[in-house]
Structures are given as structure tokens and as C-alpha cells.
Amino acid sequence: MDIFAKFENKLGPIGDYAEKSPGYFAFPKLEGEIGNRMKFRGKEKIVWSLNNYLGLANHPEVRKADADAAAKYGLASPMGARMMSGNSDIHDQLEKELAEFVGKESAMLVNFGYQGMVSAIDTLCGRHDVVVYDAESHACIIDGLRLIPSHRYVYKHNDIADCDKQLARATELVKKTGGGILVITEGVFGMSGNQGKIRELAVLREKYEFRLFVDDAHGFGTMGKTGAGIGDEQNCIEDIDIYFSTFAKSMASIGGFLAADKKILTFLRYNIRSQIYAKSLPLAFVAGNLKRLELLRGKPELREKLWHNVRRLQDGFRKAGFDLGTTNTPVTPVFMKGGLYDAVQLTYDMRENYNIFCSVIVYPVIPKGQIELRIIPTAAHTDQDIDETLAAFAAVREKLEHKLYPQEMPNVGVPA
């Protein structure tokens, strides 16, 4: 059989609807400068789908730093992988400042967040080891686990008792294999918005020997008194053996980093294949990330504005009786009851009649019969944005509850 034959009539659970909604529900094109309001198909929308938490994407100091760095270095420099010819003092400086900020001895840059997590798991874990991980871990963690020969046990989301059970199983297994145990969780879960129970997981070290690896993509820059992430928020920096975050969210950029004791980072530097065999992160991005980190640390008013918006939005939703699940972070999931057609019609209604653009999530990502509209508040949003959004959600919920949405795909047409 031709290996491509299986693609001809089936494109997957999302792809099967590709021809019915080209460029609308999947691969939409937002236009204009990144911000709280952008254009979609030529009309202005309030946008809640961008992880631009601190509003740095179009901050004037960031734009100037990016432009100056691009003019000075271009996008090619440095050429080659860092180990061979692509290192620089600016790379070293950014790593030093990141390590200091998150309270770790050392840090190392990775070219992309997703790639960095996959590669770190691949480097750390061998066939004799066991990984114990949270059931709601991000796809980059799941994909990293798929690539390694290690044994793995999943525990129910944020369920410490179940993690205890899986660690007991892992401990018995490594007695036979001679390997070690790595526990992986997230600092802030990007779908539910709740925090990983880092301190409670660390207590399990009284019974078991393991290392703790935390993906804090949504926590870095948003959580804690200083914005240093979940370790700062939960006062548990020392409990985290390896800390990871991406620059693609609060920093509104490209790349990511790992932070840990120097011994661990030295091993990673000399063995992480995705960095050894890939071109170094360009200096223009590194210099731009230094400016972003400077603003993240030096302008607490950005984080304060973010949290003002988070509280106003989430309090408004809860007061109106909406189900936000268990979120205790800026990530704001709004849950409703309905099927696929309800979800797409509701989303279409929001975009076309209320000028609200947010992400919709349905089965198989969440259980059948549920709709999740995920809202990402940022420091760039205004009180007016929030009030208009709350009113729109109340209106579409009324339609949903009275079963006014057609049970068919909306005719989104072809973009002009």
C-alpha cells in the first residue's frame, strides 16, 4: 500500500472539516499589529487568543530593541551551532540573567520551546529510567515521551494520591532496571488554567527518590511576586530540579530556556542533540529577549495590569454564573454544554455578530458534550474589551440554552 493512501479520505478529527471552514476555525489569519484588537477578514475583533500576557509584543522599547538588533546583527549571525561556531557573549549574558531571575545556578537557551522540551526529555531519560507525568501534560511533553525508550506511568491530573501510586510502581521497576525516576508536570496548565501542585509533589520525596522537571510556559512572567514563575508563586524554587519555559508567551518572542544546577546543565549542553546539530538562536532574537527580560523584571506595572484584567474578567464571568473550572491563573477557560455544531455556530456568532475572537475547543481534546472557549487576558486589554466580552458571552449562552443554533456547519464563505 502507498504510505500516502491513508490520507486520501481521512484527514483526522480536525482536518475532516477543513473544506467546510477554510481559514476560519483552523488557520485563521489575524491582521494588523499584535494587540487587544486586530482585524479578522477585514473587520476589527477583540482578540483573546494570543499568549501576549504582558503586552510586550508591540511595546515601543521592545520594537526598538528588535529593530536595532536586526540592523546591527542581521538574522544570520551567529552562524553554526553554539558548540561549534554559534556562541556569543550575548547568549551567555541572557542565560546568566535568566538563571538569576528564576533562582537557579545555571541556564541554557533552546531555539524553540516545543523542541526544547522534547529534546530535554530525550537527553535526560534512557531505557532503564521511568517517567511519571501528569495526565494533562502539554503535547511537547507527550511527544518527548513518545520518542524515548523509558518506561512511563501517567497519574491523574493534579492527583497527588495517584502520583504516589505511580511512584510506588516506578520505584519497584527501577529496582530491577537500575535506572532513575523523573516526574514531569506543568507550573500552569494551559488548558485548565490551574497550577501544578509542585510543593505537594516535592513532599513525596520523603517516600521516593526522584527528580522533578517543571514546564512553566504559562507561569513564567505571570506568576509570583516578581513574575519569576511557579517557583516564586508557591515558594518552592528549591523543589524544582529542572525549570523550563518558553519565550513565546510572556516574552512574546522565539526560543526558550532550561534552568537547573550547573552539573545538570553542563550535561545537557554537551548532549542535547537538537541544539548541538542546529543553528544557534540568532543574535537579533537574543538581544531582543534581553530587553524583554529587562522589562519583565523592571516594570511590575505590566504584570499588575495583567492581573487587574484577569480579576475583572474572571470575577465578571463567575458573577454571571459561568463555569471557569479550577483556574487560579490568567488562563481563563469558559465551559458550556453542547455538541460540535453548537460550538462552531457559537464561535461563528461571536466573531461575526459580537466581534469577539477566541479559541474554541471540543472533543477529542475535551469530553463529548462540552465546549471550552479559552480566553487569554493580557496587559494590553482594556476594561471596555472585558465588558463587551462579558455581554457577548451572556448573549450567546442564552441562544445556546434555548437551542437556537442550527445543527450544521455555518457557511463561513471564502475570505476576500
Convert the pLDDT of each residue in 371-387 to its tens digit.
999 999 999 999 999 99
Q: Is residue 294 part of a domain?
A: yes
How big is the chain by its Cα radius of gyration, in Å?
22
pLDDT digits (tens, 9 = 90+) for 120-170: 999 999 999 999 999 999 999 999 999 999 999 999 999 999 999 999 999
98-to-107, 255, 284 alpha-carbon distances in Å: 7, 13, 17
Residue 56 contacts by C-beta under 8 Å, 6 or more apart in sequence?
62, 250, 251, 252, 292, 295, 296, 302
Question: What CATH number does the domain containing 190 carry?
Answer: 3.40.640.10
Confidence of residue 13 (pLDDT cuts 50, 70, 90): low
Same domain, 70 and 175: yes
Please give the grid coordinates belonging to residue 226: 516578581
Same domain, 311 and 362: yes
Range with the lowest mean pLDDT among 12-16, 109-113, 260-264? 12-16
Over residues 106-112, mean pLDDT: 96
Query: How confident is the model at residue 374, as a pLDDT?
Result: 96
DSSP 3-state of 11: coil
Q: Which of 256, 282, 298 is the last residue of a domain?
A: 298
Residue 188 contacts by C-beta under 8 Å, 6 or more apart in sequence?
194, 195, 196, 216, 217, 218, 219, 222, 223, 230, 329, 331
Same domain, 374 and 357: yes
Any alpha helices (H) in 178-226, and if so which ranges?
Answer: 198-203
Query: How confident is the model at residue 317, as a pLDDT?
Result: 98
Q: Is residue 127 part of a domain?
A: yes
Could you give the dihedral angle defined by the CA atoms of residues 185, 306, 386 and 59, in that order, rounded to the nearest 10 degrees? -110
Same domain, 94 and 10: no
Same domain, 187 and 336: no
Over residues 58-72, mean pLDDT: 97
- CA 214 from chain centre, in angstroms, equals 12
Q: How far apart are CA 38 and CA 15, in angstroms?
A: 26
Residue span of the structural domain in which 148 resides: 60-298
Same domain, 168 and 279: yes
Q: Is residue 198 part of a domain?
A: yes
Q: Is residue 412 part of a domain?
A: no
**Order of strands across the sheet that contains 359-361:** 332-337, 370-375, 359-361
At residue 416, does pLDDT exceed 60? no
Mean per-residue pLDDT over the chain, rounded: 95
Query: How confident is the model at residue 21, as a pLDDT?
Result: 75
What beta strand segments (E) does 7-164 contain? 30-31, 37-40, 43-47, 106-110, 130-134, 151-155
Tell me what percent of the residues of the chain surpass a pLDDT of 90.
89
At residue 18, does pLDDT exceed 80? no
Q: Is residue 415 part of a domain?
A: no
Q: Is residue 387 part of a domain?
A: yes
DSSP H or E segment with residue 294: helix 283-298
pLDDT digits (tens, 9 = 90+) for 311-325: 999 999 999 999 999
pLDDT digits (tens, 9 = 90+) for 25-54: 888 999 999 999 999 999 999 999 999 999
What phi and psi, each to the nearest 5 degrees, are found at residue 339?
-100, -170
Residue 60 contacts by C-beta under 8 Å, 6 or more apart in sequence?
none
Question: What CATH number does the domain containing 364 carry?
Answer: 3.90.1150.10
Q: How many domains does the chain have?
A: 2
Same domain, 215 and 261: yes
Q: Is residue 414 part of a domain?
A: no
Same domain, 244 and 341: no
Q: Is residue 142 part of a domain?
A: yes
Over residues 169-198, mean pLDDT: 97
Same domain, 74 and 195: yes
Same domain, 23 and 36: yes
Q: Which of 276, 298, 320 is the last residue of a domain?
A: 298
Confidence of residue 413 (pLDDT cuts 50, 70, 90): confident
Query: How confident is the model at residue 314, as a pLDDT?
Result: 98
What phi and psi, each to the nearest 5 degrees, are found at residue 337?
-100, 135
Same domain, 152 and 163: yes
Query: How confident is the model at residue 363, as a pLDDT?
Result: 80
Task: For the beta carbon of residue 12, count every other beta carbon within 10 angstroms.
Answer: 10
Q: Which of 273, 298, 323 is the last residue of a domain?
A: 298
Over residues 226-255, mean pLDDT: 97
Same domain, 265 and 394: no
DSSP 3-state of 44: strand
